[in-house]
Amino acid sequence: MTFKSIAIAADHAGFDLKSTLLEELKSAGYEVLDLGTKDATTSVDYPDFGRLVAESVASGKADAGVVVCGTGIGISIAVNRHPGARAALCHDVTSARLSREHNDANVLALGARMTGEQVAKDCLHTFLNTEFAGDRHARRVQKLG
C-alpha cells in the first residue's frame, strides 16, 4: 500500500517535532491532516490527540498516522486502544521498518524527548515507504483485531 494522506498530532511535548515532521511530509508530497496541538506551551493531554489520529486512520479519513509525545509511550498506548489502529513506538529505522513489514503498523509513534530530529525523519520515511510483508504476519496481525 502506498500511503497518500497522513494524520499527525502531538501533545505539547511533541509539538516542535510534529512541526518538523509536518513540513517533511508536505515537502515529500503527502496530504497532511494536522490534528493539533497548536503550541508547545499550553499543557494538553496526549490521549486526546492519540484518539484523533486513531479515529482518522480507523475510519479511512487518513491512510496512516504519526503521533508524538515526550516519550511516545503515552500517545502510542492511547492510539492502540482503538480497534483498527496499530501504533508502533519506534526509536530507530530498524523498528520503523519492521513495524511495517511484520506488524502492518498504520501509526508511527515517536518520543520527542527520546529521539533526535534526524533519526525521527529517517523513521518517518522508512515507515511510510515500507510495505507489509503479509504471509505468516498477516495471520498474526489479524489476531490483533
In the complex, the residues that contact ligand RB5 under the rule CB under 6 A are: 11, 13, 46, 69-71, 73-74
Name the closest residue to ligand RB5 (Cβ): 74
| The one catalytic residue among 12, 69, 82, 123 | 69
Active site residue 12: no
- Select 77 or 119, whichever has its Cβ closest to ligand RB5: 77
Active site residue 125: no
- Is residue 70 within 8 A of residue 11, CB to CB? The reply is yes
- Return the C-alpha cell found at 135: 504471509
Instruction: Report in angstroms how near the CB of residue 49 gets to ligand RB5 at its nearest.
Output: 10
Taking residue 32's Cβ as centre, other Cβ atoms within 10 Å add up to 18
Instruction: Report in angstroms how near the CB of residue 31 gets to ligand RB5 at its nearest.
Output: 26
| The one catalytic residue among 82, 90, 91, 102 | 102
Instruction: Report in angstroms how near the CB of residue 91 gets to ligand RB5 at its nearest.
Output: 14
Q: Show which residues are catalytic.
A: 69, 102
